[in-house]
Every structure is written in structure tokens, then in C-alpha cells.
Amino acid sequence: MLTTRTIQTAPGLAFDTSVAGPADGPLVLMLHGFGVSRFLWSDQVETLGQAGYLAVAPNQRGYAPGARPDPADHASYRVPHLLADALAIVAGLGHGDRRFHLAGHDWGGSLAWHLADAHPGRIASLTILSRPHPLAFNRAIDLPDGEQKRRSAHHTRFLDPQAGPDNLADDARWLRTRLKANGVPAEKIEQHLSVIGNPPAMEAALAWYRARGVRHDPAGPTKVPTLYIWGDADDAVGRAAAEGTGDFIAAPYQFEILPGVGHYPSDQVPGRVTALMLAHLGRYPA
């Protein structure tokens, strides 16, 4: 059964998390991306927990009210802090320096690529949704056709101080429209907005972009067995970046294209994502 648990990793850093499964089961840590929340992974948390894994999905820094440094202090939202949060949550779950499975979507996928690069011995398997390898993304954004640059235009818009109010204007119309266009069910949109649909949370979420800028931080070729799931109706990631990811994997690699699926596969087709994850985790036990 899925429950909510608060994990405090340091003073002023308390993360609300979705948890299911036995405390001594193999850990699967699932990191969400922008505009959504831990609820993105609800189906996977519950089903993986039933399968004997300790499945955990936190609201990350800024999304969790108890882990929200001042969003105006962009340095508090730099990637090294976000990576440290993930490892601290693992430790807070009692898994110390044990190996674990890692999954990430969108921004959470970016963090997952970097964690696998920095700590390949800790990661038993990697599952990525809707976020190409950083080197594939940077290569695609530099292509002369400009397609990936167009798809990523919101990265630049989010640097504008007015982005937060714009995203939440008219009952968060921009965010609601984007989630709906990518196949997110209405009830899941409401769950995500219960987390991010307020000015403090939105400003903190945007601080991730403002701390990093437009380009993805580079990472080396991935040495961890990787499952990459991409929907071919993804409005933010084009085919060049998605298909190019395989050029930067130095480990067993599975690339799954989901026809007609948008940027949020685990909300749009949760059963398909869960089945793919279960098979992938089973091949690479922690």
C-alpha cells in the first residue's frame, strides 16, 4: 500500500515522499520533473512495492514545502545540491551506501543521468523518461534545423522574472493546457497542481532553471544498464535528441518508443511504463 512519509535529511530539508514496499526490499528511487510532482510515479510506486521493492518517490527540493530554500537564492538550487538531496534521501531510508535502482523523468531524468555518471557503482539500473542524455540533448540543440531549440524555448522563458506569475495566471492555465495536451488525466493534473500550483512552489521549481541556464550540464557516457522511454508525441524532446541518446550509453541499453505518447508517459500510460520498469529491474538486481 502506498503511504506518505516525511524524510528529513538535514535541518530545513524535509521531503514528503510516496513510499510502498518492504523496508528491506531493493530500493527504487524515482525523481520527478518540472510541472509535476511525486504523484507522477504513483502507479509505479504502488506496483513495484507490491512486487517486493522499496519504491520511493519524493517531492524534490522546492516542491516539498519542508525543503524549500529561498527561491531567490538560485545557488541553493544548483545541480550538486539536487544530487546530494537524492543520496541523502537514500541514506534517510536506511540504505546508506547500498546499491539502488534509479528512475527519473524530465529534470529528474537529468539528475539521474548525473548520479549514474558520478556514482556508477551505486546504481544497479537506470530508467529514464522523456529526458535524453545530456550530451545528446546539447548536440541536438545545436543542430541547424533548430527543432530541439524550438522545443526547449520554455527553458529561456523560465529565466524571466515574470515566468512564475505567467505560469499560474488564470488558474494555472498555461500549465493545465500543457499537461492536458500531453495526455495527463484531469485527476493527475489536480494532484500535481496541489503541489506546484502556488507561487512559492512555482518560484522554487523555476529556480532549478535559473540556477542552471539553458544548456544541460555535460555528463560522461553512462556505464549503468539503462532503459530510456520516450513518447513520440513529446512536445519537449525531439527525435534527434531521443534517438541520439544511445550514442552515449556504454552499458546494456533499451530504447522504448511509445507511439502517440507525450512528455509524461507514467501519467498517460502508467501500466506500460510500470511493465517496462519491472522487466528492466528484474534483469539487473541490486
**Number of domains observed in the structure of the chain:** 1
DSSP track, 212-236: H-SSPPP-PPB-S-EEEEEETT-SS
What is the Cα Rg of the chain in Å?
A: 17
Q: How far apart are CA 103 and CA 121, in angstroms?
A: 16
Q: Give helix 79-92 / helix 107-118 axis angle, nearest 10°.
A: 80
pLDDT reported for residue 218? 79
Each residue's pLDDT tens digit, 141-154: 999 998 998 998 88
Find, among 212, 107, 206, 211, the residue nearest to 163 by Cα: 206
Least confident of 145-154, 195-204, 227-236: 145-154
Please answer whether residues 209 and 238 qualify as being in contact, where contact means their C-beta atoms are separated by less than 8 angstroms: no
Q: pLDDT-based confidence at 30, cuts 50/70/90?
A: very high
Domain boundaries, position 115: 3-283
Please answer whether residues 138 and 241 qualify as being in contact, where contact means their C-beta atoms are separated by less than 8 angstroms: no
Each residue's pLDDT tens digit, 232-241: 999 999 999 9
pLDDT at 214 over 70: no
The verdict on pTM exceeding 0.95 is yes
Share of the chain above pLDDT 90, in %: 93
Please answer whether residues 181 and 268 qualify as being in contact, where contact means their C-beta atoms are separated by less than 8 angstroms: no
Across the range 72-98, mean pLDDT stands at 96
pLDDT reported for residue 217? 76
pLDDT reported for residue 283? 98
pLDDT reported for residue 215? 67
For residue 285, give the DSSP letter.
-
Q: How far apart are CA 187 and CA 172, in angstroms?
A: 15
Cell of 27: 530500493
Q: What is the dihedral of CA 51, 34, 266, 101, to 10 degrees?
A: -30
Q: How far apart are CA 46 and CA 53, in angstroms?
A: 10
Kindly report the CATH number assigned to the domain that includes residue 153: 3.40.50.1820
Please answer whether residues 112 and 40 qualify as being in contact, where contact means their C-beta atoms are separated by less than 8 angstroms: no
Please provide the average confidence, as pLDDT, over all residues in the chain.
Answer: 96
SS3 at position 4? strand
Cell of 99: 546499491
